[in-house]
Amino acid sequence: MAQLTSLPQQDRIRVLAADNTSMNTQLLVEALTRDEQIDMAGSPAKAADILTWTKKERPDVALVSSRQGDDIASGFALCREICASSPNTRVVMLLDSSERTGVVDAFRSGARGVFCRTESLKLLAKCIVCVHQGQVWASSEELHYLLEAVTEPVPLRFATVGGKALLSAREVDVVRCVAEGLSNREIAQRLTLREHTVKNYLFRIFDKLGVSSRVEVVLYALSGGNSPHRTGPTSHTGAGKKDAAHAPVMASNSASLRMLRP
C-alpha cells in the first residue's frame, strides 16, 4: 500500500471492531489505529452493547467476527442486526477461513466484504477503505461462491404463520414451474395435465395467496410468504387472467424477475 498522508480526524473512516474475544478485539484496534485513514471509534464487548453503540454512534464500517465468543455463527446474526439498525454502517465479516458456507452466509447477512484471518493487517486496512467507498471486498474464489449461490434453486414456502399449508402439493408444483419460466402449455406437459387445468390451478393460487399475477406469485414465494401488494383474496381483472394464461416468469436466488413474453 502506498504511504498514507495524515488526514483530519473528521475525514477518517470511523471503524467499530467486534472480534471473537475481547483480547483479539483489542489487538485489532491497536493494529488498525496505526493507519492514519482509520479512526477506531469503539470496541464494545457484548453483542447487545455493540448494537446499542452502533445505533447511537453510526460508525462507517464495522468489523464483525463470524464467531462471537463460543458461538461459531452468532456473528452472522449480529451482522444482520447492525445492517437493520444502522443501514449506513457497512459490515466486513472476519472469517477463520474462506470456505463457501461462511462466505455466502456473510453476504446473505448483509456484509459488504469478507476478510480471512490468514491475510495481512495491511490488506485489512485496504479492505476497510474499499468497503467504505462502496465497493464489495471478496476474492475471485469467494465471488465464484456467490455466483454459484445465485443460480441455486430457491425454496418456495407457502404457509401461514402457524405453519398451515396454503397450497396443495400440486399447486406448489405449478408454482415451481412458473418460477422456471414455463408457459401453461409447458407446465401441462411436465405435470401431465390439460392446459385448461393449469390455468384453473393458477386462478386458485392467485386467490389463496391474495395476488393477481404470476410475477407476484414468485415474489410471494421468494419473500418467504409475504404478499408484495396485498394480504387478502383478490378478484381477477382481465389483465390478471391474461397474465395467468400467458406470461411466464424467471426467478433467481437474488429475487430478480423478468417477463419473458406477453
- Three-state secondary-structure class, residue 51: helix
Phi, psi of 94, rounded to the nearest 5 degrees: -90, 120
> Domain 9-150, what fold?
Rossmann fold (3.40.50)
Per-residue pLDDT of the chain (262 residues; tens, 9 = 90+): 444 445 566 689 999 998 888 888 889 999 999 998 999 877 777 777 888 888 888 999 999 999 887 667 788 988 999 988 899 999 999 999 889 999 988 988 889 999 998 899 889 999 999 999 989 899 989 988 887 776 666 566 676 656 677 888 898 889 888 877 788 999 999 999 999 999 999 999 999 888 888 877 776 765 555 444 444 444 333 444 444 444 444 333 333 332 222 2
DSSP bridge pairs for 13: 38
- What are the CA-CA distances from residue 170 to residues 31, 175, 192, 201, 214 (Å)? 59, 9, 11, 9, 16
Contact predicate 226/217, CB 8 Å? no
Residues of the chain with CATH 1.10.10.10: 169-259
Helix ranges, 6-108 (H) = 22-33, 47-57, 74-85, 100-108
Q: What's this model's pTM, rounded to 2 decimal places?
A: 0.57
Q: Which H helix or E strand runs over 63? A: strand 61-65
* Rounded Cα–Cα distance for residues 159 and 218 (Å): 14
Residues of the chain with CATH 3.40.50.2300: 9-150
Does the domain formed by 169-259 have CATH 1.10.10.10?
Answer: yes
